[in-house]
A and B are shown apart, each in its own frame.
Chain A
Amino acid sequence: MKDVYSNELPKFDLEEFMVSMSYSPEGMTTNLARQIEREVGKKKPVPVREADILDRALQMLPIGIYDDDVFAGNYGPDFTDTRALSDAKEADEAEFTGGEGYRLSTEDEKLISGRYLLFGVYTLAHTCLDYELVINKGLKYLKEKVKDRLAHGIDEYGESYLKAMLKSIGAVQGFAARYLEIAEEKLENCKDAKRRAELERMIAALEVVPYEPAQDFYQALQSMWIIHTTVPAAERSWASISLGRMDMFLLPFYEKWLKDGHTREEAIDLIVAFFKLLDSYGDGSCALNFGPDFNELTKTILDAEKKAMYRSPIVDVRMREDTPDEIYDQYVDKDLFYIGQPTFYGEDINVKAMEYRGMSDKDGHSINSCMGMVVVGKEIADMWGCCVNMNIPLELAINKGKPLMGEFPEMLQKYLDDIPVREPDSIEAIKKSYEEYMQGILAYVADQNKKKAAWMAMNRPNPLLSLMLDDCIMFGRDRAHAAFDLLGDEAEQFMPNDQFDFEEVRKDRGVRYHNVTVLSVGFAHAADAIGAIDELVFQKRKYTLDELMEAARNNYEGSEKALRIFADLRKAPKYANGSDYADSNASFVLDALADACEEQYVGNIRFIPTCHTIDANVKFGRAMYASLDGRKDGEAVGKNAGPVLTVIKSTPTDFMNAAAQIPNIRYSGGVPIDIYVTDNILQTKENRDKFRGLMRAYFKAGGMQVQVNSVNIELLKKAYEEPENHPHVIVRKGGFSLYFTDLDKDIQKDMIDRFEKEIG
C-alpha cells in the first residue's frame, strides 16, 4: 500500500490554489493596508475595518497617468519606488503564506483535499456587477439607498455594515479624486493642444463619475473602469468579474456620442483603450456578453475586440433557437476564432437551468466569464466552492466503504459512517452505493464550503461589493452572510469578537442568489470504470473486483495479470467515443452528483454541479492515484466535459452527442466542451455555415456551452520550444483566455497533445 501522506505523487495544494485565485496585480496595496489596519483598527466593527482597509489601500496605491493614457486608471510599479513595492510584496507574501483567509484548518483537511481531491472553500470575486446602474445613476443612488435603509431602523450589526458601505463609497470617491488631482497637474504643464483636450475630457469625467451618473460615452467607460478597479481591490481577487451586456447598456451613450459629432472609429479607439486596462489588470476571464439582440454597438465592440487582440476581455455569446443565421454569422468569424473567441452558449437551455435552480428573478441575465449564466447584480457564483473527485464514491462502493489507498481522516469519515456497507456483488449494488457515498461526500464538502463562507462573511466582509449586490442593503449583511446563518450554532466560532450578539447577527442573508459551483473531477474516468467493471467482472467474469483493485493499487504494473487488466480496461467502451452505454454511465455518475448537490440546498444557497475543470485537470490528475478505468498514477484526468485523453481522437459530434446526454439542466455551473478547429476552417462560407449548423444542432439537443479553440498547431509548438519568441500567443482554457507561454509546461504539452489528437 502506498503512503497517501508521502509526496512521491505530489499532493494538490489547496492553499496555493486559494492564493492563485486572487490574480493580484503587481503593486496592489490591499494586503499592506490590512497590516496597518490590523493595529489601528483593532476595536472597529469588522465591516468598518474592511472599509477602512479599502480606503487606505486605495490611498496608498501607486497611481499615475501616462502621457498617452486615454482613461485614468493605470497603477503599479511605474508609479512608485522599489521600497514601497517591496513593502507591498512582503505584505502579500505574509498574507498569502500565513493569512487566515488562505489557510486550511488542519493537516487532515490538507490530506483530504490534496490526495483525495475533496474540498470546500470560498472563492472570492466571480460575479457580474450591475454597471448599468452605476453609469446611469451613480454611486450616489446607492448611497441614498443605504441612507434610506438606515433611516428605517436596523439592528446594530446591520447599522455598522451599512455605515461601512457608505465609507466604501467614500473610498472610491477618494480614489477618483487622486486621479483628478494628477490629471489637473498634467494639464497645467501640458502645452500640446490635442493632449490638453484629452486631459480636459478626463478631468471633466473624474469630476463626475462614478459618484454621479455618466454624461456621455467616454464618462460611462471611465466610470466602469474605476468600479472595475476598486471592487477587486476590496475583494482581494480579480477573478471573473464580468462586464455583462455592455452593448445594450452603453447603446444610448453610444448613439448620443455619434449624434454629438463623434465617429465610430473614435469609439473603437476608446473601447480598445478600455480593453487595454482590462487586459493589464484583470484576469483572462473578464467577459463581454452579447446575445441575439445585436445592435450597432455590438458590431463596434466586436471590431474593437478584433483590433485589440488582447487576452481580456473574452467574448461570450448567447444563442437561441430562433436566432437568425445573420446574427450567428457575426460571431462565426475567423478573426474572432483566431483569438479563441467567442464561447457559444445555448440561451434556451441556460435559462431553463436557472429556472431549475429556483432563480425566478432572472431578467437581464448574462454570462459570467466561463461559468454559465448569472443574474447581473443579484448573484455571487462561488466558483469551485466545492470539488469532488468522482472516482472516490466508486472506490468506496467496491471496497466496502474504504478508499483504495489509505484511510480517510475522521473529519471526513464521520460523514460516511451511517452509510450501509453493501456487498459489491452486482453492478446495480455498486451503483446504489455510489449514489449513497456521493451524498455523504457532498455533505462534507458543502459543510466545508459553508464554514469558509461563514468565516469570510464575518471576518473579510466586502461592503463595497455587497453594496452593489441585491439584497445586501436591505438586510445590512455581507454578500456571503447566508452561510453564516445557515451553518447553525457551529457558526458562532466564526464571530471575530464579542462586539455583537451572535443570535442577532446570524439572522438574515446577503446576496439574493448565493450559488456555489461543485466541480466534478474525473467523471469520465468514474463512468468508464463502471462500464468496464460491469463488462469484465459481472458479464464476462474475466476478473474479480479484488483483482481489479489490486492492479489499480499497483498502478497496473508488476505482473502480467496487471498488464492484461490494464489492456482490457483501456479497451473497454469510453465516454464520448460513440458508445451509448458508456455515455449513459457518464449520465449516471453526473446525476448522482446532481442529486447529492440538490440534497444540500439550504436557504438561498444552491450547490450547482459543473464539469468546468479549465486546465486544472492536469494538476488534479497529478495528485491522483491510478483509477479503475486504466488511468495511471498522476496522469491528467479528462478536461471539462470531455472524455479521457486516450479517446480524445473521437469526432466533435461524438463529444457533442455525449455531452448533450449529460443532465445539462442540472449543471448550470457549466458543461463546456472544447472544439478544436484548424485555423483556416472558416475561410469559406460553406464551412462557416456548417459550423453554425453544428452549434445549432448541439444547442437544440440540450447542449449548454461550446468553446472554440482555433490556434495554429505549429505556432503552439514553436511557442512551446521558444517561449521567449512567442510571448503573445493567446489560447483558451475552459472559457478563459491567456497567453500560452504563461501556462505550465505540462499544461502546454497537454494542450498541444489534445489539439493534435482532435484535429487528427
Chain B
Amino acid sequence: MCEVVCGQKAHILGPEGHTLNREKCTVCGACAAVCAEDALEVVGYEIDEKELIKFLSRDKAFYEETGGGVTFTGGEPMMQAADLKRAAVLCVAEGIHVAVETASLAPWKNFKKVDPCIDLFICDLKAVTGELHKMGTGADNRLILENLKKLMDIRADRMWVRIPLIAGFNDSEAEFSKIAEFLAGRGVARVEIMPYHDVGISKYGALGVGYPLKNDGIVEKNHIELLKKTLRDAGVEHVV
C-alpha cells in the first residue's frame, strides 16, 4: 500500500521485494501510516523550542520525584550550541534539570556558550591514546581531551565521564592506565564504563545499513571489573 499513497514514488515493489529510494523520500509519513506490517516507521520530527518545552514540561512531576530531567543527546548537541542554549534556557526557567551527552568534539566556545544553563555534562572518553582514538573513530582526540580538562577545571562536580568499552579497541589495561592517569584526582562526579552491546543490529538493518562489528566488541564481565579496579587503584573517584 505504501507505493499507492507515496506522492514522491519513492517506494518500489519489484520481484526482489520492497525498496525505498531515500533520495526521493520527503518523510511525509503516509507510507508508514498505511503499512500493514508496521515495517516502516518515521523516527524523529521537527519541533520549535517553545513547543518542545511545553512537551517536556508534561513530565515535570516525574522529573521531580525521580531526580530526573531532560538530556539533550546526539546528533552532537554541542555542534548546535545556539539552538541548544535557547531550549536549555527555557528548561532552566521551568526548573527542569538539563543534561547534555556529548562526544566533546566541538569548539570550546560552544561549551562556554551553554555552560550556565547546563546542569550536567555527560562526556564520552573513548581513548586517551591519540592513534588509537583516530583508528577507532576516525577523529583526532586532542580537542576532546582539551575540552575535558577545561570542564574538569571548572565543573568536575557537575560532569560525568562515560567510557564506551569495546573489545579489541580500548579494553586493554594499558589504555585504561592512561585513562586513569587522565582522570585521577580530578573529582569528576561519576565515571562510568558503558560496555558495548549489539542491540543496534536490528536498527542498522531497518535503516538498510550494514553492521560490521556484530558480536566482536562485547567485553566479558570479569574483565570489566578488572578495568574498573585499574581506574580506582589509580585514584579515579566515583567509578561505577
Interface string of B23-57 (1 = CB under 8 A from A): 00000011101100010000000000000000100
Q: Is the CB of A697 within 8 A of B30?
A: no
Chain B 1-28 residues near chain A, CB threshold 8 A: 1, 4-5
* A661-717 interface with B by 8 A CB criterion: 689-690, 693-694, 696-698, 700-701
Spot the interface stretch: A286-294, A447-455, A558-566: A558-566
* B196 close to A (CB within 8 Å): no
Residues in A with CB closer than 8 Å to B34 are: 563, 566-567, 570
Query: Which chain A residues numbered 728 to 749 have a C-beta less than 8 Å away from chain B?
Result: none
* Cα of A646 to Cα of B42 in the assembled complex, Å: 13
Q: Which residues of A contact B30 (CB under 8 A)?
A: 564, 567-568, 571
- Per-residue interface assignment for chain A, residues 645 to 659, with 1 indicating a CB less than 8 Å from any chain B CB and 0 otherwise: 010000001001100
Contact across chains for B66 and A570 when beta carbons are under 8 A apart: no
A403 interfacial contact with B, CB 8 Å: no
Interface readout for A568-581 with B: 1 if CB under 8 Å, 0 if not?
11110000001010
Assembly CA distance A287 to B1 (angstroms): 47
Partner of A700, one of B4, B5, B65: B65
Is B64 in contact with chain A by the CB < 8 A criterion?
yes
| Cβ contacts under 8 Å, A569 to chain B | 33
Rounded to whole angstroms, the CA-CA distance of A566 and B34 in the bound complex is 7
- The answer to whether A653 touches B5 (Cβ under 8 A) is no
Cβ–Cβ contact B33 & A693, under 8 A: no
Bound Cα distance A684, B64 (Å) = 20
CA distance A567 to B185 in the complex (A): 58
**What is the minimal beta-carbon distance from B240 to any residue of chain A, in angstroms?**
9
In the complex formed, the residue of B with least CB distance to A691 is: B66
The digit string for B118-149, where 1 denotes a CB below 8 A from any CB of A, is: 00000000000000000000000000000000
**A578 and B68 contact, Cβ closer than 8 Å, known pairs A566-B34, A567-B5, A571-B33:** no
**Size bracket, chain A contacts:** 20 to 34
A82 to chain B, nearest CB (A): 49
> B58 at interface (Cβ–Cβ under 8 A)?
yes
A690 and B68 contact, CB distance less than 8 A:
yes
B113 to chain A minimum Cβ distance, whole angstroms, is: 29
Q: Are B58 and A653 in contact (CB under 8 A)?
A: yes
Q: Point out the residues of chain A lying under 8 angstroms from B38, CB to CB.
A: 646
Q: Give the residues in chain B near A567, CB-CB below 8 Å.
A: 5, 30-31, 33-34
CB of A697 within 8 A of CB of B61, answer yes
Q: Which of A564, A578, A646, A698 contacts B58 (CB 8 A)?
A: A578
Pair A657/B59 contact, Cβ less than 8 Å: yes
Which of the listed residues B5, B34, B62, B67 has the most CB atoms from chain A within 10 Å of its own CB? B62
**What residues of chain A lie closer than 8 Å to B5, measured between beta carbons?**
560, 563-564, 567
Interface size on B, residues (CB 8 A): 19
Please give the distance in Å from A699's CB to the nearest CB on chain B. 10
- Select from chain A the residue with minimum beta-carbon distance to B34: A567
State the CA gap A630–B30 with chains docked (Å): 13
Complex Cα spacing A108 to B58, Å: 46
| Residues B66 and A657 in contact, CB atoms below 8 Å apart | no
Among the listed A568, A689, A697, which residue makes an inter-chain contact with B64, where contact means beta carbons less than 8 Å apart? A697
Question: What CA separation (Å) do A234 and B30 show in the bound complex?
Answer: 57
Once the chains are docked, how many angstroms separate the CA of A742 from the CA of B231?
A: 51
**Bound-complex Cα distance A737 to B190 (A):** 40
Known A567-B34, A653-B59, A700-B61; judge A690-B4 contact (CB<8 A). Answer: no
Rounded to whole angstroms, the CA-CA distance of A696 and B61 in the bound complex is 9
Q: Contacts of B66 on A, CB cut-off 8 Å?
A: 689-690, 693-694, 697
Closest partner residue, chain B, to A657 (CB atom)? B58
- Closest residue of B by beta carbon distance from A646: B38
- The count of A-to-B residue pairs whose CB atoms sit within 8 angstroms is 57
Write out the residue numbers on chain B whose beta carbons fall within 8 Å of the beta carbon of A570. Answer: 33-34
Distance (Å) between the CB of A542 and the closest chain B CB?
13
Given contacts A567-B30, A690-B68, A701 and B61 within 8 Å (CB-CB): yes
Bound complex: CA of A158 vs CA of B62, how far in Å? 55
Q: Chain A nearest CB: distance from B88 CB in Å?
A: 20
Which partner residue on chain B sits nearest A651 by CB separation? B59
Known: A560-B4, A566-B34, A567-B5. A693 touches B62 (CB 8 A): yes
Are A653 and B62 interface neighbours, CB within 8 A? yes
CA distance A578 to B64 in the complex (A): 19
Shortest CB distance A77–B (Å) = 45
B7 to chain A, nearest CB (A): 10
A70 CB, nearest partner CB in chain B, Å: 42
Does A694 lie within 8 Å of B33, measured CB to CB?
A: no
Q: Determine whether the beta carbon of B33 is less than 8 Å from that of A697.
A: no
Residues of chain B lying within 8 A (CB to CB) of residue A563? 1, 4-5, 34
Q: Are A578 and B4 in contact, CB atoms less than 8 angstroms apart?
A: no
Measured between beta carbons, the chain B residues less than 8 angstroms from A698 are 62
Chain B residue with minimal CB distance to A645? B38
Query: Do the beta carbons of B29 and A571 come within 8 Å of each other?
Result: yes
B193 CB to nearest chain A CB (Å): 14
Residue of A nearest to B7 (CB): A564
A563-B4, A566-B34 are contacts. A697–B58 as well, Cβ < 8 Å? no
Q: Give the most central of B1, B4, B33, B67: most A CB within 10 Å.
A: B33
Q: Which residues of B contact A693 (CB under 8 A)?
A: 62, 65-68
Task: List residues of B (150-185) whose CB comes within 8 Å of A's CBs.
Answer: none
Q: Roughly how many angstroms separate A693 CA and B30 CA in the complex, as a whole number? A: 38
Closest Cβ of chain B to A323, distance in Å, is 13
Residue on A nearest B58 in the bound complex, by CB: A657
Which residues on the B side are within 8 Å of A560 (C-beta)? 4-5
Cβ–Cβ < 8 Å partners of A580 in chain B: 58
The chain A residue with its CB closest to the CB of B6 is: A567
Within the complex, the shortest CB–CB distance from A156 to chain B, in Å, comes to: 60
Q: How far is the CA of A566 from the CA of B67 in the complex (A)?
A: 41
CA distance A45 to B64 in the complex (A): 63
**Chain A residues, CB < 8 A from B4:** 560, 563
Complex Cα distance, B64 from A698, in Å, reads 12
Give the residues in chain B near A694, CB-CB below 8 Å.
62, 65-66
Give Cα A459–Cα B227 distance, bound, in whole angstroms: 75
A738 to B34, CA, bound (A): 35
| Closest A residue to B59 using CB positions | A653
CB distance from A594 to the nearest CB of B (A): 24
CA distance A693 to B59 in the complex (A): 12
Q: How far is the CA of A656 from the CA of B61 in the complex (A)?
A: 11
A-side contacts of B59, CB under 8 Å: 653, 657
B162 to chain A, nearest CB (A): 15
Most buried by B among A571, A580, A657: A571
CB distance from A659 to the nearest CB of B (A): 13
1/0 contact string of B205-236 vs chain A (CB within 8 Å): 00000000000000000000000000000000
Q: Bound complex: CA of A577 vs CA of B190, how far in Å? A: 33
Q: Nearest CB to that of A684 among chain B residues?
A: B240
CB of A563 to closest CB in B, whole Å: 5
| Closest-CB distance, A259 to chain B (whole angstroms) | 41
On chain A, the residues within 8 Å of B62 by CB distance are 653, 656, 693-694, 697-698
Report chain A residues within 8 Å CB of B67. 689-690, 693
Residues on A with C-beta less than 8 A from B1 are 563
B25 shortest CB reach to chain A, Å: 15
CA distance A521 to B61 in the complex (A): 29
Cα–Cα distance between A694 and B31 once the two chains are bound (Å) = 35
The answer for the CA separation of A656 and B1 in the assembled complex, in Å, is 34
| Chain B residues engaging chain A, CB cutoff 8 angstroms | 1, 4-5, 29-31, 33-34, 38, 55, 58-59, 61-62, 64-68
Known: A566-B33, A568-B30, A580-B58. 10 other contacts (CB 8 A): A571-B30, A630-B33, A657-B58, A657-B59, A690-B67, A693-B66, A693-B68, A697-B62, A697-B64, A700-B61
20 contacts between A and B (CB under 8 A): A564-B30, A566-B34, A567-B30, A568-B33, A570-B34, A578-B58, A580-B58, A653-B58, A653-B62, A657-B58, A689-B67, A690-B66, A693-B65, A693-B67, A694-B65, A696-B65, A697-B61, A697-B65, A698-B62, A700-B65
| Contacts from A to B (Cβ < 8 Å) | 560, 563-564, 566-571, 578, 580, 630, 646, 653, 656-657, 689-690, 693-694, 696-698, 700-701
CB-CB nearest 5 A-B residue pairs: A693-B66, A570-B33, A693-B65, A697-B65, A567-B33
